[in-house]
Structure 1
Amino acid sequence: MSERNRLAERTEAIERSEIAYTLDRMEAIRDRPGNPEGIEILRVGGALCIYSRTMPWPGFNTVKGLRSSDADTLEEIIEFYRARGRKPLFELVPGVVDQELMKRLTALGFSQTGFHTSMAMTTGVGAALHSAPLADKLEIRSLCEDEFELYATVHCRSFGLPDDGIPPVAANNRVLYDRPGWKFYLALWEGQLAGAAVSHRNGEIASLTFAATLPDYRGLGIHAALLRTRVGEAFADDCELVVGQCAFGSQSHRNMERIGMSVGYVRASWSER
């Protein structure tokens, strides 16, 4: 197989993993009794379109999986969101969309507004990370089913969200606890809540879907330890590829590179002007 074909296969594998965990998570939230977050999921061509009535943020109103062949479906996708009072975020992966699709988006009032980096690591060095020692004061363990308030506390406070968001974040993640492929972690520093992380396995690919450290515990290596733990477990369980997402050049990006992950691609975010 040529180097170009290997790169294309790797790109598609990374994107599939991101779509798989996003779809599974949104289906789980949608299937809560009464669908309280008003989740809708639409497939148009190769694109996955997700929408939430109660969560207006781009991450819950995103279009993934677009291909060059989907250019003629863009109006239908945009109308789906406009009819619901939303402006969608289009995530474009390099190598699978062409200039014509981007020109079409531009004509429809969209422009590139950001980047996001997808990192990846193949089997090999990652297996040794499972046995890497932790700092004496740090404990990383699996989250128990009755501890989702703790997870949600890390989620909200790490990103500067108000505490009144803790109950809905807990509820929207609790539904994943018994769902195949999902695993939640807590990080404790001297017995105190310090961080949390999540991974999702789909076939032979593991996705690092979330990790955060509370502000008072940053700079202690907790985020890096959560990375090593999840990557090591994934390869110890015979995964062939581990992927994760981060802002380019961020501390998360640097931590991923330090454990051997490399850039899979930098996707472009397109929003309505």
Structure 2
Amino acid sequence: MRLPVINEELAKRIVKCETDYFTSRISSIGERAGNPEGVEIKQFGDTTAFYIQSMPWGLFNSVKGFSQDDIEKLEEIIEFYEQRNRAFQLDIHPTGTHPAMLRRLSEKGLYQNSFLSVLYGLPTCELPNLPSNITIRQIDNEADFDLYAGIHCVGSGMDIVHKHHFVNNNIGLLHRPGWKLFLAAWDGVPAAVAVMHIGSGSNIASCTLAATAPEYRRKGLQTALLMWRMYEAYQANCELVVAQASFGSSSQHNMERVGMQIAWTRSVWAPLNP
């Protein structure tokens, strides 16, 4: 099977997959008893806006699925975040754009501040032949999830004392429909984690998160986890695997090494004066 050529229809499906998994992930945080993190998800036409009161970072206060079709919703979206005194990021994909839309973004005080690579590839029909040092297993219990949270924490550059935040804000993914979490060990020592999502009715698998403990980087763990998820996608009868990575990053390089290709480069816009 050959990798399909990107066209408008396929691009829209890939964008929707990202919006769907992000909605599921943020919803899982908001579903904690009493919504302690202050999660809000609001729909503006086909555009989805995410807000988490306790997490000021752009990733958790982002706008996904925006296109020319929702240009008349732009002022409402900006007002949604202004009312919450929160800066936000707006993802712009090539599909559904128009020069007039981009001009409107700048007229409303937004500017492009970064790029992100969107990649896609084919599932793998054979179980990966892993190096002898590496073993991978699916996380299906709270003991393994505790290991996951610790690796996610330190792999994100945080001190391990903050692990409880990663436990609280990701535990909702354990056993959640569509989600699979994986733990990779190096010589039997838990060292890296990765996550994938397959939405209901979707035949596209999304590689949504990956982290490696600093002392185990550059050992091929993330490449192994990518290959493992591509095989899992085949087992789930998916036709494509998609992922996002910072442009030119080691994550992008790992994805390209296992056969994924850049579909397009997404631009990220933000308020000039938040």
5+ residue gaps, structure 1, are none
- Contact 2:138–2:182 (Cα < 8 Å) also in 1: yes
**SS where residue 125 of structure 2 aligns?**
helix
Instruction: Select 2:162's aligned residue among 139, 161, 165.
Output: 165
Matches within 5 A, 1:1-273: 7-123=7-123, 126-128=124-126, 131-146=127-142, 147-202=144-199, 203-273=202-272
Instruction: Give yes or no for contact 1:49–1:62 (8 Å, CA) kept in 2.
Output: yes
Alignment-mate amino acid for residue 85 of structure 2: G
Please report how far the alpha carbon of residue 164 of structure 1 lies from its aligned counterpart in structure 2 after TM superposition: 3.3
Pairwise CA RMSD: 1.5
DSSP 3-state at the match of 2:7 = helix
Structure 1 runs, 4 residues or longer, greater than 4 Å off: none
- Structure 1 length-normalised TM: 0.94
Query: How far is 1:165 from its partner?
Result: 2.6
1:101/1:204 CA distance change after superposition, 3 Å:
same
**Cα-to-partner distance string for 1:169-212 (whole Å, 9 max, x where unaligned):** 11221111121110101111111121000000122111000111
Q: Distance in 2 between matches of 1:144 and 1:67?
A: 38
SS in 2 for 1:263: strand
* Aligned-partner Cα distance in 2 for 1:71–1:204: 29
Equivalences, count: 266
Q: Distance in 1 between matches of 2:74 and 2:39?
A: 20
How does the TM-score come out when normalised to structure 2?
Answer: 0.93
SS in 2 for 1:16: helix
Which ranges of structure 2 fall in alignment gaps of 5 or more residues? none
Matched letter for residue 170 of structure 2: N
Q: CA deviation at 1:6?
A: 5.5
* Amino acid corresponding to residue 71 of structure 2 in structure 1: A
Q: Distance in 2 between matches of 1:254 and 1:173?
A: 26
% same residue: 38
CA distance in 1, matches of 2:6, 2:139: 37
Secondary structure of the residue aligned to 1:28 is: helix
Shift in Å, 1:43: 0.4
What whole-Å deviation, never above 9, does each CA across 1:132-164 have from its counterpart, x for those lacking one?
211111111011321322112111211212323
